[in-house]
Copies of this chain bind each other. A is one copy, B any other.
């Protein structure tokens, strides 16, 4: 390999790092803006202002405002660890307590209604919304499958109904009735959802 090849490679690596950093800065600013005002009041101008990245550069990576919103929303896809306490009730309690703790505080919980709303009328958003939703439900589905595998849960148990019975009441309190989601509430919901298994 010639020295000139080496230095070309270094330059290209530097450029990649710079591009990566600038992408990251733009996505952070975009997500922050979404948390504050939802999808409706989102503008590329404001993202450019906050991130200090030129609009032309932003549009080079994301050809439309919508593409940028969708990419920023993808950051909401939860990367929760799946607990392994040895029992279905233990696992479900660990997962729901974490969600109950995140719901009133996490940035994504302020953005999600805006995505739900946009998804009503826009198929691209419906798709990203489905992905976020599958991310939220994934750890529950995993611990339910594990409980089936070790014989704690009958194989005929309908995972999708159990997930709705577990997450639904928490989401209802966060976004619909706006009541507090305390530990006693979460424990009762778990008891009800797993009662007849």
A130 at the interface (CB under 8 A from B): yes
Within the complex, what minimum Cβ distance (angstroms) separates A141 from chain B? 11
Q: A163 to chain B: which residues have CB within 8 Å?
A: 177
Chain A interfacial residues counted at CB < 8 A = 45
Within the complex, what minimum Cβ distance (angstroms) separates A189 from chain B? 6
Q: A188 to chain B: which residues have CB within 8 Å?
A: 158, 161, 165
- Cα separation A63 to B192 with both chains bound (whole Å): 48
Copies of this protein in the complex: 2
Contact of B160 with A164 in the complex, beta carbons under 8 Å: no
Q: Choose from B38, B160, B175 the contact partner of A121 (Cβ within 8 Å).
A: B38
A173-184 vs B, Cβ < 8 Å mask (1 yes, 0 no): 101111100000
Main secondary structure of the interface of A (DSSP, over half): helix
Query: Can you name the residue of chain B whose Cβ is closest to the Cβ of A181?
Result: B164
Contact of A165 with B161 in the complex, beta carbons under 8 Å: no
A62 at the interface (CB under 8 A from B): no
Contact of A172 with B175 in the complex, beta carbons under 8 Å: no
A1 at the interface (CB under 8 A from B): no
Query: Can you name the residue of chain B whose Cβ is closest to the Cβ of A163?
Result: B177
Contacts A130-B178, A173-B164, A191-B196 given; does A110 touch B116 at CB 8 Å: no
Within the complex, what minimum Cβ distance (angstroms) separates A129 from chain B? 8
Within the complex, what minimum Cβ distance (angstroms) separates A154 from chain B? 14
Q: A167 to chain B: which residues have CB within 8 Å?
A: 172, 176
Contact of A177 with B165 in the complex, beta carbons under 8 Å: no
- Cα separation A90 to B164 with both chains bound (whole Å): 22
- Cα separation A172 to B164 with both chains bound (whole Å): 6
Query: Can you name the residue of chain B whose Cβ is closest to the Cβ of A164?
Result: B169
A-B contact list, 5 entries, CB within 8 Å? A116-B116, A117-B117, A164-B179, A167-B172, A168-B171
